[in-house]
Amino acid sequence: MMQETPNKQLYTYEDYLKINDDNQYELIGGELILVPAPKTTHQKISRKLLQIIGTFIDDNNLGELYGAPTDVILTETDKPQPDILFISNERLGIITENNVQGAPDLVIEVLSPSTTSRDKVEKSKMYYTHGVKEYWIIDPDAKVIEVFTSGEKNWNLVEAYGKNGILTSPLLPGLQINLKNVF
């Protein structure tokens, strides 16, 4: 008989695949995290960004754009489901039928009350460590989008855009998003 230990169980992607329910989960550092359904404001922002960025990417033949839930396998114990992710043409090989196996070029997370700390701390570090080139954090309540690029030792804040700003992306030159059309 195994003795119980006070340590939390570390989950792997294989463990995650065995879960037999309709809930959405992320796997961060081996911790299995139930992800509640996003609020309608969150969904609206994601949908509008998917439309705007998707059109830009398609018109310029730049790669592939996906919305949640899409499993991103970074390690056996790290499987986030970013709200929006972009993979450039040069890296399309990381896309499989079931998931994305490796770091996307761009990850966008829309904050929710239950995910704010995780998105800004654990997931931010995880995305940086695994080679995401650009990371956007969207605060729907403050109507602010922060755009970060990967620096030598950490994320570099490129700019914080308010609801009246025109967002540009270092990773996607030419993309201009009038945030009045998003918030």
Q: Is the residue at 46 inside a domain?
A: yes
Residue 151, both tokens: 């620096």
User: Which residues, including other chains, have CB under 8 Å from residue 160's CB and lie 6 or more apart?
Assistant: 144, 145, 146, 147
What sign results for the dihedral spanned by CA atoms 111, 114, 120, 122?
Answer: negative
Q: What percent of the chain has pLDDT over 70?
A: 96
Q: Is the residue at 33 inside a domain?
A: no
Q: What is the mean pLDDT of residues 28-51?
A: 95
CATH of the domain at 133: 3.90.1570.10
Q: Is the residue at 13 inside a domain?
A: no
Helix (H) / strand (E) containing 139 = strand 134-139
Confidence of residue 90 (pLDDT cuts 50, 70, 90): very high
Confidence of residue 7 (pLDDT cuts 50, 70, 90): low
Q: Is the residue at 147 inside a domain?
A: yes
Q: Report the C-alpha gap between 78 and 29 in whole angstroms.
A: 6
Q: Is the residue at 9 inside a domain?
A: no
Q: Is the residue at 44 inside a domain?
A: yes
Domain count, the chain: 1
Helix (H) / strand (E) containing 110 = strand 106-110
